[in-house]
Amino acid sequence: MENHKQQMKKYWRQNIRTVLILLSIWFLVSFGFGILLAEPLNAIKIGGYKLGFWFAQQGSIFTFVVLIFVYVYKMNKLDEAFDVNEK
C-alpha cells in the first residue's frame, strides 16, 4: 500500500513536469513570440509574413494544437507505465 502511494506520487510528479514543459512552450509562442518579442521578431520575414505577426495570428494557434496532441500522447504513455490507464 505504501509502495502504491509512492508510485502515485511519482506519477503525479511526472504529470506535473509534462504539463509545465508544455505550458512553457504555450507561453513562449503566444506571450513571448506573439506579444513581448513581436517587434524584434518582425525584422525577420518568412515569405510575406513578418515573424512576430505570424506567431500572433497563425503560428501560436498551430502550436497550441500540436501541444494538446503531444500531451495526449505523453499522458497515455505515462498512464500505461504506471498502470493507471483506463481499460
Partner 1 sequence: MDILTWTYILVGLSFALYIGIAIYTRASSTKEFYTAGGGVSPLANGMATAADWMSAASFISMAGIIAFSGYDGSVYLMGWTGGYVLLALLLAPYLRKFGKFTVPDFVGDRYYSNKARVVAVFCALFISFTYVAGQMRGVGIVFSRYLEVDIETGVLIGMTIVFFYAVMGGMKGITYTQVAQYCVLIFAFMVPAIFISIQLTGNPIPQLGLGGTVQDGTYLLDKLDGILADLGFHQYTAGRKSLTDMFAITLALMVGTAGLPHVIVRFFTVPRVRDARLSAGYALVFIAILYTTAPAVAAFGIYNAIDTVAGQPVDNLPDWVENWQKTNLIVVEDKNNDGLVQYLANPESNELTVDKDIMVLAAPEIAELPNWVVGLVAAGGMAAALSTAAGLLLVISTSVSRDLFRTFVPAMTEKTELIIARMAAAVAVIIAGYFGINPPGFVAEVVAFAFGLAAASFFPVIIMGIFSTRMNKEGAIAGMISGLVFTLGYIIYFKFIHPEANNMDNWWFGISPEGIGSLGMLINFLACFVVSKFTPDPPEHVQEMIQDIRIPRGAGKAQDH
Which residues of this chain interact with partner 1, rule CB under 8 A? Answer: 8, 11-12, 15, 19, 22-23, 26, 30-31, 34-36, 38, 42, 46-50, 53-54, 56-58, 60-62, 64-65, 67-69, 71-72, 75-76, 79, 84-86
Give SS3 for 21: helix
E strand or H helix that includes residue 62: helix 60-81
Cα separation, 12 vs 78, in Å, equals: 10
Contact 50, 41 (CB under 8 A): yes
| Closest distance to partner 1 from the beta carbon of 2 (Å) | 14
| Closest distance to partner 1 from the beta carbon of 51 (Å) | 11
| Closest distance to partner 1 from the beta carbon of 45 (Å) | 8
- DSSP designation for 86: -
